[in-house]
Amino acid sequence: MGQGENFGYVSPFDANAILQIPLSRRVVQDVIVWSFAKRGKYTVRSGYFVAKQLRKDELSNEESSKQGIMGSLWSRLWKATIPNKIKIFSWRACLDILPTQDNLMRRRVLASARCCFCQQETESVLHVLWSYGASQDVWAGSVGRFQKLGTAQNDFLQLVSDLMVKLSSEEWNLFWVICWQLWYQRNTVIHGGVFQHPSSLAKRAVDYLKEYSNAQDTLRVSDPIHVPAQQTWQPPQGSVFKLNFDGACFDDGAASGYGAVIRNEKGEVMAAIAEWGGAV
């Protein structure tokens, strides 16, 4: 095949790469070789093996980029000035382990993943906390820039990764308080409660944050001598890690959850988990 000929099915990039292949000095007949098999001959078995390996590499790349996002998300979340219970809720939302209809169906608890309110879409974390109409009304009525961020995201983690870089600290705190309230409201309505007016929910989130921040200021000026030493977390000494964990049961054992965090001698988080443990 000469350089000027038409390569047909080969892209110009590949054609150029092919032309770079050094040719054998001996005059030998061209043969087709499948380099993934010992004898150079393609078999379905070897093709399947290569396809499986490629898929595995692809998944591990996706996994490591996801772990990178989770690491920075975790640290940003833990620095937020919001109550710990909201941080834990937020982390569960990011890990996609909130008991949404979607997750309950995946765990074979429910037969349908459909949202109880709109009866149209799957109730994912993204749906209930962000894209669902009633939730969007709340975001539109809040003081942050949330409504400008659109609803094009495919999953909640993608949304949160976008928000993490776009929002100020105050907006970031407010975002999580509103998410928490939306989840609380969703549970209340499922159990016979009523929807709050979107603007009153948004306003309550702002008031809640103000109260929390004022309470933190009051705590900060109190005398540290009265805080018993054993109640203050201390990092481990030397090259060891410290594991702290806790678990809880809800609704008389109908649900449970646990969380753990491993930190190094500088108090830096090395690994963490928060899981929904099901019925006990």
Work out how close the CB of 118 gets to Zn ion at its nearest, in angstroms, rounded to a whole number: 3
Nearer to Zn ion, 59 or 190 (CB): 190
Nearer to Zn ion, 118 or 143 (CB): 118
Work out how close the CB of 51 gets to Zn ion at its nearest, in angstroms, rounded to a whole number: 38
Spell out the alpha helix ranges (H) of the chain.
12-19, 44-79, 84-94, 101-106, 125-126, 133-140, 156-166, 169-190, 198-221
Work out how close the CB of 123 gets to Zn ion at its nearest, in angstroms, rounded to a whole number: 6
Work out how close the CB of 139 gets to Zn ion at its nearest, in angstroms, rounded to a whole number: 15
Work out how close the CB of 167 gets to Zn ion at its nearest, in angstroms, rounded to a whole number: 25
Rule CB under 5 A: which of 108-137 touch Zn ion? Answer: 115, 117-118, 132
Nearer to Zn ion, 126 or 167 (CB): 126
Helices 84-94, 169-190: axis angle to 10 degrees equals 80
Work out how close the CB of 128 gets to Zn ion at its nearest, in angstroms, rounded to a whole number: 7
Nearer to Zn ion, 77 or 129 (CB): 129
Work out how close the CB of 211 gets to Zn ion at its nearest, in angstroms, rounded to a whole number: 31
Q: How many residues bind Zn ion (CB under 5 A)?
A: 4
Q: How far apart are CA 150 and CA 233, in angstroms?
A: 41
The residue nearest Zn ion at its CB is 115
Q: How far apart are CA 142 and CA 14, in angstroms?
A: 53
- One-letter amino acid of 98: L
The torsion angles phi and psi of 199, rounded to 5 degrees, stand at -70, -30
Which has the closest alpha carbon to 98: 255, 253, 266? 255
Torsion angle (degrees, nearest 10) of CA 186, 188, 190, 192? -150
Q: How far is CA 96 from the centre of its chain?
A: 7
Nearer to Zn ion, 110 or 260 (CB): 110
Which has the closest alpha carbon to 200: 215, 226, 217, 181? 181
Contact between residue 237 and residue 263 where contact means Cβ atoms under 8 Å apart: no
**Residues 67-106 as x/- pattern, contact with Zn ion by CB under 5 A:** ----------------------------------------
Length of the chain, please?
Answer: 280
Contact between residue 206 and residue 174 where contact means Cβ atoms under 8 Å apart: yes
Rule CB under 5 A: which of 130-189 touch Zn ion? Answer: 132
Nearer to Zn ion, 117 or 208 (CB): 117
Work out how close the CB of 219 gets to Zn ion at its nearest, in angstroms, rounded to a whole number: 39
Nearer to Zn ion, 37 or 113 (CB): 113
Please report whether residue 190 would count as binding Zn ion according to CB under 5 A. Answer: no
Nearer to Zn ion, 124 or 173 (CB): 124
**Residues 259-278 as x/- pattern, contact with Zn ion by CB under 5 A:** --------------------
Give me the residues paired with residue 258 across strands: 247, 275
Which residues are at the interface with Zn ion (CB under 5 A)?
Answer: 115, 117-118, 132
